[in-house]
Chain A
Amino acid sequence: MSPPTAVKATIISDHPQTYEDEHVHAVYDEIAPHFSSTRYKPWPIIARFIASLPTGWVGLDSGTGNGKYLPLPLNRPGDIWTIGVDRSRNLLSIARKAGEGDVTREVVWGDVLGRPWRDGAFDYAISIATIHHLSTAERRKAAVQRIIQSISPSHGRALIYVWAIEQDDLSKRSIPSDQTAALTDSTGQDVFVPWVLTSPAPKVGPKVKPRRRKQNQQLETPTPETSQEDVARESQQRVFNRYYHMFAKGELTALVHDAARGLALEVGPEPVGSEEKRRGLHIVEDGWERSNYYVEFKCWECT
C-alpha cells in the first residue's frame, strides 16, 4: 500500500467543471485553514517579479489562495495593489487578512475562467499554482486568455507559475513513473496529490489554532505541499485528493503562445518603428524553479 502522501495518476472521468468542483474546489474549502498555515514564503521568482512593478500599478492575483502575495512587496507596502480572486470562499476569508498588521486586502469570489473586469483594467497579473488545477487543455488555455484580457494591451505584464513533472531533489513526493509513462510527453500528466487532514475538524480552542508563522517558516520547503508528513503521524486523518495537471517541459510556454494566437495577438518582441496597428505578446522569461515551470510575458501594442 502506498503511503498517503504518494502521488497517484488519475483519469478525468466527469464533466470538467463537475470534476474540478469535487477534486479541487471542495478540497480547498475543507482544508483552507490547515493549507493556509503552511503557505507563507513567496518563491523567489514571484517576489522578484512583484518587486519590479512600478508604484501606482494595480494587479490581479488569479487563484490567490490564502493571499500570501497580496501584501508584496513588503519593503514598499501600498505602492501597488494586488486584488485576489479565488474559487474557495474559505481561503478568501483568510486572504482578506493576509500579511502583517490589520491591513485589509481586496479579494473577489470568482473563477479563473470568469472575466468580471473591464477589459485590460489591470497593469499586471499573477497566477501562481492555479492553472494546473484545470482538468483540460482547453480550460487551461481559456484561463491564460482571461489573464491576457485582464491586463493592459499596451503595457500589461504577467507571471504564471505551475507545477512541473520534473521535481527537484528536495521534493519527497513519489511520482508514479510506471503506470503513467505512456501519458508523460509534451502534454503533461494528470495526477491526484493527497492532502492529509487530521480529523475530526478541531473545535476552536487555543490548542488547535494554526501554528504561528515563525514555526511554519521552518517547515516550509519549496514544493507545492510538504507538511502532510507532520500530520500524517496523527491517528485520525482524512485524505483529500486534489487534482493536478503536471506540466511537461515547454508545455506552459506553448500554452501561452496558443492562448495569445487565439486572441489574434502576435507572439514575439514588440516591433521597432512599426507604422501599422499591431498587438502582441512577448515572452520575457520562462524556466523551471523548484519543481515548477514559470513564464513571464508582457503585452505590446503599436497604434
Chain B
Amino acid sequence: MVRLITHNLLACHAKGCTTNNFPLQFKDVSIELREAEFNPEFLKGFMPRIEWKALVDAARQLGDTTLPSEMPEMVDDEFLKNLHHALLEVHVEEGAMVCPNCNHVYPVSNGIPNMLLAEHEIA
C-alpha cells in the first residue's frame, strides 16, 4: 500500500542520492478510496512527526485539497477527519514515485511500492 502515511516517510536511497531526495513525486497514479477506522488520538500523536509540506503537496497531487498549507496549532474534529482521510484512506494502487533529485523511478503495482534497487544502484 502506498498511502500518504507511508509516502511521508519514504525517500530515495539510490547510490549518491542523499539530498533533495524527499518527497518522491507521484507519476501516472491510479487511486482508490477506502474507509479506515478514525482514530483521533493516533493522529494527534503522529502529527509532530509529519513533514507537513510534503503531505499537503502530495494530497493535492492526488486531488485532496482539504489540508491547510500550515499545520494548525489548534486541532478540531473537522481538521482531524480531513487529516485522517488524506493519510489513511487514499490508496495509490498503480503508477510510480519519482525521486525529485535523481529521477529514479519506484513503481507501484497492486498497491505495493517497489523500493528495491539493483545491486549497482545500492549506496
Interface residue ranges, A against B (CB under 8 Å) = 17, 54-58, 77-81, 83, 85, 87, 89, 92-93, 96, 103-111, 113-118, 121-123
A79 & B9 in contact (Cβ 8 Å cutoff): no
Whether B112 lies near A116 (C-beta < 8 A) is: no
Q: Are B116 and A78 in contact (CB under 8 A)?
A: no
Give which listed residue, A54, A81, A113, contacts B5 with CB less than 8 A.
A81
By a CB distance below 8 angstroms, the chain A residues around B53 are none
Interface assignment of B114: CB less than 8 Å from any CB of chain A: yes
- Which of B11, B37, B49, B91 contacts A78 (CB under 8 A)? B37
Q: List, sorted by A's number, 17 A–B pairs whose CB atoms are closer than 8 Å.
A: A17-B119, A55-B42, A57-B45, A77-B37, A81-B42, A104-B1, A104-B36, A105-B1, A106-B3, A106-B6, A108-B113, A109-B116, A110-B115, A113-B122, A116-B10, A117-B10, A121-B9
Q: Per DSSP, are chain A's interface residues mostly helix, strand or loop, or mixed?
A: loop
* Chain B CB within 10 Å, residue with most, of A54, A77, A83, A109: A109
Contact A96 B1 (CB under 8 A): yes
Q: Which of A54, A109, A115, A117 contacts B45 (CB 8 A)?
A: A54
Query: Quick one: which of A17, A54, A78, A87 contacts B39, CB cutoff 8 A?
Result: A78
6 pairs of A and B residues whose beta carbons are closest in the complex: A56-B45, A116-B115, A110-B115, A78-B39, A121-B9, A115-B13
Determine whether the beta carbon of A80 is less than 8 Å from that of B115. Answer: no
